Each structure stands twice: as structure tokens, then as C-alpha cells.
Structure 1
Amino acid sequence: MGYVYVLIAATLWGLLGSFSKLAFQEGITPLEVAFWRAAIGSVLFGAHALLLRQAKVAPRDLVAVLGFGLLGISVFYAAYQFAVQAGGAALAAVLLYTAPALVALLAWPLLHERMTAGKLAALGLTLLGVAAISLQGGEVRLSAAALLWGMLSAFTYALYYIFGKLYLSRYSTPTIFLYALPVGALGLFPLVQFETKSLLAWGALLFIASLATYGANLAYYAGLRRLEATRAAVVATFEPVVAAGVAFAWWGERFGPLGYVGAGLVLLGLLVLTLEGRRR
């Protein structure tokens, strides 16, 4: 069941790009999309936590939760946008999805999760697949700034998996995001240039916040409770396959042959991981 939850989350996250593109088309900047995603999401998670009376965080954990808000929300959202600006979307995506490899490395000493041959094979297949999807066609502009921002986005994205494993045993998902998302929104606020928004733009922003953020995170962390961090990280890389399919159907964005090879490698990696999990 853990795999199903993470795949639901990956599907919702996969829709994020197309709905963000709709918001961009309506004149909203990427950083403003990121801000409203955090701000509206904080309202939804806050209401959820208060309704369930799950708003309390022990003082000893408050610094870690608020720090996650800055690193996992503000820095991650901003770093990824700067990576796209400096090196283009393809390179930013490749660097971002080095996160599962970082998770595997971090989970070994921090969470004492075993590094098996199956995990290594699945990681290799999914990373190769994401690289093929991202690099097919177009130009890739490698620079020191693109490398710096891209790896920073990957590192902060990897922290989602590690932080979730360390703190989900103590707190529910709404409790964590009740504190983290407002901090993330406040961290983004000085970077945002606010624009006048159409009804369609607000609709896109509400979808991004309610389903691609609130719904996706609930599903993902439900899966993470049932899976090792490395497994959840690899399964979540199904996201670019969904994103590519929706972008093709909605926006007419086409894969080249290498892109279809990459999608197949990602699916093969998921299959290897799932079969290895059943054998244990």
C-alpha cells in the first residue's frame, strides 16, 4: 500500500508543471507561484491540524520543524527556480533528481537503512531514465551557477525524505506543515513580485496548493510511513513520466526517441524496486 500512496503523490506532483505553466501563461511569475503554493497550503494544513487537534510540537523539535520550513520550502523552491534560470529546465531537472541518490547516501548513516544491490540497480535505472527524459532535445547550458543552484535544490529536496523518516513517528503530516509552510512562505515573500491575477490564474494556483501540495504531501507521507526513505524517493521519480504525458496531452510538448527510452528506464526502475521489496 505504501507504493500506491507514493505513486498517487507522484501523479499529483506530475500535474504541478502543467498547472504552473497555465499560471505562467496568465502572467504569474514562478516565484509568485511558489509563494502562493506555500501560503495557501499553510491554510489547508493549518485547518487540518487544528480540526484534528494536532497543532502541538514539542519545544525540543520546534527548531528542526521551522528549519525544515526554511530549507525544505523557501530554499528548495527558490533554488530550483534559480537553477532553471541559470541552466534551463532540462539541466535543473537532471540535477534535482539526483535527490534519490543523495537520499540513499544520507539514509545509510542517518537512518541505518541497508544499501542493497536492488536499491543500487533501481537508483541507477531511474536516474538514467530521468536524465534521458530531461536531456532529450534542446540545449543544456552548464555553468557554475547552474550547478550550484541545481545541486542545492537536489539536497533540499532530499531532506524531505530524511526529515519525514525522523519526525513522522512523532507528528502527523498536517502538524509538520502547519509550521513549515508559513515559514517557507515568509522566506519567499521578499523575492516575489506580485501581479494582478485572472480568475484562471487563481484557479491554477488553487489546484497547485490544494492537490499538488496538500493532497500530494498527505499521500506521500502516508507512503513514507510504510516504506524506507530510499524506496519512497525512487518511486517518487515516477513524477517526470506523469509530467511528460500531461504536458504532451495538454500543451503539445513532445518527447524525442531518447525521452521515451528514459520513461521506460524509470518504469523499469520502479519494477525492480517493487519486486525487490516483495522478496524481503
Structure 2
Amino acid sequence: MTKSISMVLAGAASFGILSSFVKLAYQEGYNPAEIAFSQAVVGALLLSALACFTQPAQKSLLTRKNSLYLLGTGAAIGLSTYLYYQSVQSISASLAIVLLMQFTWIGLLLEWAFFQKRPSRMELLITLFILTGTVLAGKLLEPKQASFSWVGVFFVLVASVTYAIYIVANSRVGKAVPYLTKSALTMIGSALAILAVNAPTLAFENHVGSGLIKWALFLALFGTVIPPVLFAKGIPRVGAGLSGILMTAELPVALLTAHFLLNESLDGIQLVGIVIMLGSLVAMNVYKGRNE
């Protein structure tokens, strides 16, 4: 059990470090479209290779209908990744991850709108605490801070919506498909969506070379390959409820990485907000786990 818990925590931590390293890639002259697209392409290639070598006998479970659904699901996470990376060009990595976490309650609204699954009073109360923690952790009462930009906030909030769409769709689509095959198709859809939105930029303003490949490989490993593999191995043994709690580790890891790697501020009020958010996210997962 300890090994499985460590796998889930490591997967969450892998996600948490991404935004800070993306900001470092920007310092070398790369743009969000290049980084997001190259990450998706490399991730799709690596996952496809793993799927071919380790799950060849299970391909029959993949139907045309499942393939199309998974490509669509991948388009959602691809747009989310691109918009999230776009946001960290103009706001701090700390603020970006705090705002991205709004996908937790946005997902509740999506399930209510499309599947008539109305949020309970407890879920609404927890959402209120998440929003309170967000205001404190993101220092939203200080909009004149140097790292604040309404454009960046807009991008990351839209990213949180598309991320919520991805999570809701991913939980309902392709359940019988082997996880590596499912992840590979999702990343192909992700790459296609990013390409469709950024075709002119990728065609005429690209900086393809060893430097971009370095970042693409790093971000693909820690953003699209390692987490799915660790989650696929660890979550079935740990259970969905505890796994949901463990995956909230992404938030403090992202904030600490931004603090130590990028020297982003982390004061007492932010720490209080982070604690409130973490407690709320844990409470949400515990509540869902008991109900399910």
C-alpha cells in the first residue's frame, strides 16, 4: 500500500512542477503554442510506443466510436494545457495553479448541466471554502501586484473550464480501453487541437531545434507519460477516494516549486489560503468517496 500511495503522490508532484519549468522555457524564447504542441506530440509518440510494446493483445477493445470520443477528450486537455501555458506568460505560476484548481467546482456545474447531477449543499459549502482559499492564496485582493494580469487570469480560468470538461469526459469515456492506449489517443487529440488553434504560429514562428526538443521531452515525461502510468498502477490499489486526496499534492508542489525555482512570493496570507484550499479539496474528495 505504501508503494502505491507513493506512486499517486509522485504522479501529482510531476504535474505540479510543470508551470515553473514552462516559465523557464519562455526565458529561452519559446512560446506557448510551441511548448504545448511539442509536449503533446512527444507524449503521444512515447505513449503509443509503450502501448504497442506492452498492450498489443488488447487493441480489439478499441472501437471507432471509442477512438473518436478519446480524441475529443484529448482536444479538451490539449486546449487546457495550451491556455494554462499561455496564462503563465503574464501571471505568476503560483496564481495560475491556484486559479486552475477551480476545475473542482466547475466540474460539479458541468455534471449538473449535462447529466442532471445536482450539487449537494455540502458540495456547495466546500466550493465556497475553495473560493475563499483561492482569494487568499492568489492574493486576489491585491490586483495591482506586479504579477497580475486580467488577460492571464482569463486564459487560466478558461483553462480550468476545459480541464473540468476533460475530467468529466475522461471519467465516462473509454473505460474498457487499456490505459496506455487510452492515454496515447488522448494525447493525439491534444496535439491535433493545439495544432488547429495555433497553425499559423507553428508554421511561421517556430523555433524547432534541440532546445525545444529538450523541453518537449522533459514536459512530456513529467506531464503526459509518468503521471498516467503511476496513476494507472497506484489508484486501483489505493482507491479513488484516497487517491483524490493524494492528488491534491499538486497544489503545494506547484507553489513550492515556483517559490524556490522562480523566487515567487509566498507569504502568511497565501499560506492560510493554501491550507483552506487543500482542506477543501480533501473534504470534497472524502465527501464524493463516501457517496460513491
TM over 0.5: yes
- Aligned: 1:162 with 2:152: no
Which 5+ residue runs of structure 2 have no aligned equivalent?
A: none
In the alignment, what sits opposite 2:150?
Answer: 142
* Structure 1 residue 194 corresponds to structure 2 residue 202: no
- 1:115-134 correspondence to structure 2 within 5 Å: 115-116=119-120, 118-134=122-138
Pick one of 191, 210, 228 that aligns with 1:217.
Answer: 228
How far residue 255 of structure 1 moved from its aligned partner, in angstroms, is: 0.9
Q: 2 CA distance for matches of 1:108 and 1:197?
A: 46
Helix, strand or coil for the counterpart of 2:30? coil
Q: Which residue pairs with 2:67 in the alignment?
A: 62
Aligned counterparts of 1:107 and 1:207: Cα–Cα separation in 2? 34
Aligned with 1:44: secondary structure? helix
Q: Which amino acid aligns with 2:139?
A: L
Q: In the alignment, does 2:246 pair up with 1:227?
A: no
Percent identical residues: 24
Matches for 1:261-272 after TM superposition, within 5 Å: 261-272=272-283
Does residue 88 in structure 1 map to residue 91 in structure 2? Answer: yes
Question: How far apart are the structure 1 equivalents of 2:5 and 2:113?
Answer: 24
CA contact (8 A) 1:69 1:180 kept: yes
More deviation, 238-247/55-64: 55-64
Deviation at 1:161, TM superposition (A): 1.6
1:167-186 matches, within 5 Å, as 167-186=173-192
- How far residue 104 of structure 1 moved from its aligned partner, in angstroms, is 1.9
Q: Structure 1 residues 265, 98: closer, same or farther in 2, change over 3 A?
A: same
Shift of 1:108: 4.9
Kindly provide the amino acid, as one letter, of the partner of residue 142 in structure 1.
W
Establish whether residue 103 from structure 1 lines up as the match of residue 114 from structure 2.
Answer: no
- TM-score, normalised on structure 1? 0.78
Rounded to whole Å, the distance in 1 between the matches of 2:127 and 2:136 is 14
TM-score (structure 2 length as normaliser): 0.75
1:33 is matched with: 35
Q: What do the CA deviations read for 1:79-102 (whole angstroms, capped 9, x no partner)?
A: 3344456x7347655553221112
Higher deviation after alignment, 270-279 or 246-255: 270-279
The total of aligned residue pairs comes to 272
Moved over 6 A (4+): 1-4, 111-114, 277-280
CA distance in 2, matches of 1:92, 1:250: 15
2:251 paired with 1:249: no
Q: How far off is 1:68 after superposition?
A: 1.8
Structure 2 vs 1, CA of residues 131 and 14 (structure 1 numbering), >3 Å: closer, same or farther? Answer: farther
Deviation per residue, 1:215-241 (Å, 9 max, x gap): 12333466776427xx84x76444232
SS of the counterpart of 2:150?
A: coil
CA RMSD of aligned residues (A): 3.5
Task: Identify unmatched segments of 5+ residues in structure 1.
Answer: none
Deviates further, 133-142 or 59-68? 133-142
Moved more, 63-72 or 44-53: 63-72
* Cα separation, partners in 2 of 1:25 and 1:134, compared to 1, 3 Å: same
Q: How does 1:38-57 map to 2 (within 5 A)?
A: 38-51=40-53, 52-53=55-56, 54-56=58-60, 57=62
Does the CA contact (< 8 Å) of 2:99 and 2:157 recur in 1? yes
Are the equivalent residues in 2 in contact too, given 1:97–1:127 (CA < 8 A)? no
State the secondary structure of the residue aligned to 1:26. Answer: coil
* Superposition deviation, residue 44 in structure 1: 1.3
Alignment correspondent of 1:11: 13
